[in-house]
Amino acid sequence: MQIRVAVLGCGSWGTTVAHLAAHQTPTVLWARRPEQADEVNAERTNSTYLSGYRLHEDLRATADLEEAVSRADVVVMGVPSHSFRSVLEEAAPFVRPWVPVMSLTKGIEQGTKSRMTEIIGQVLPGHPAAVLTGPNLAKEILTGDAAAAVVATPDPVVADKLRLLFNMNLFRVYTNPDVVGCEVAGALKNVVAIAAGMADGLGAGDNTKATVITRGLAELSRLGVAMGGEFETFSGLAGMGDLIATCISPQSRNRHVGEQLGQGKTIDEVIESMNMVAEGVKTSRVVKELGEEYGLEMPIAEEVFSVCHEGATAADAYRGLLRYPTGPERSGY
């Protein structure tokens, strides 16, 4: 019997994951706006987020949430962190018992500081919760470039079933039981990508950007371990792999935010000009709070927060980073 997949969220990454799944199993994509669902069904395109890319012929879309999830054997959440809980609560009455729920969202909930799999556990207790993460730029995958990702969930049987569901020749999927590490890495790398983008906007060199990426990896490792993640995770696909892709790619929306800030635009101007969510803006606030909660130094996250929420400039942030003392590189990771 084929496994039926429902992907909730018609943004660039949700659409891309639905496109991948449709190669191997019946897949339905839920869009909040009926006109988006109609376009996917009639034209095999999503011009709002993926203009110029054609989707799999067997992918079906709907704007009816009950229709999307009521027969699904796997539910995939591809909505931003700020609407993750509300969409899942709306879908919950229609999700059959024990169906796994997998998150694509790389963020942390404002206020509660909950990871997305924690929200799944709160809204749908008893359902296996998983996360798919890694260096995955949607347009490159639709073009057919090789990429890899990791499915993180504590149950090895569920992990392997999900791996087989999404693994294919040019999209290689691995497994990792460290859900905490994978989710923290995925959320915090967006904050570091804003810092890396600011370096580009300010005209800094590759040495500067490499330093930001490397010290950013130290920060996300430090926080991830403090929250219960495994140190090895941060040198893998969910950590270093995703961090590099997000910090260097012109397709990265978080790097784009930083670049625009470095060129002198305000955060409000940058957000207003975008049609997609850059999770790092809101995550910077949560990461700052978590760093304080765990008593950790998080200089890059703190400086990004100051630019995104306190009116500092990108130049202020880089001057601020120079105020932090140096010392043993591996001290506290």
Q: Which residues pair with 151 in a beta bridge?
A: 132, 175
Cα-based distances in Å from 81 to 113, 280, 281: 11, 11, 12
SS3 275: coil
Cα-based distances in Å from 193 to 141, 189, 201, 258: 20, 6, 12, 7
Examine the residue annotation and report whether 189 is marked as an active-site residue of this protein. Answer: yes
SS3 207: helix
Residue 178 identity (one-letter amino acid)? D
Q: Which residues pair with 8 in a beta bridge?
A: 30, 77
Handedness of CA 314, 320, 325, 330 (dihedral sign): negative
Supply 160's token pair. Answer: 């392997």
> Torsion angle of alpha carbons 108, 320, 327, 241, nearest 10°?
40
Residue closest to 130 by CA, chosen among 109, 152, 150: 152
* Strand (E) or helix (H) holding 82: helix 81-91
Per DSSP, the residues of 57-105 read TT-EEES-HHHHHTT-SEEEE-S-HHHHHHHHHHHGGGSPTT--EEE--
Q: What is the largest CA-CA distance in the chain?
A: 60
Rounded Cα gap, residues 52 and 55, in angstroms: 10
Contact predicate 128/152, CB 8 Å: no
Contact predicate 216/243, CB 8 Å: yes
Q: Which of 106, 161, 189, 209 is catalytic?
A: 189
- Give the residue numbers marked as catalytic: 189
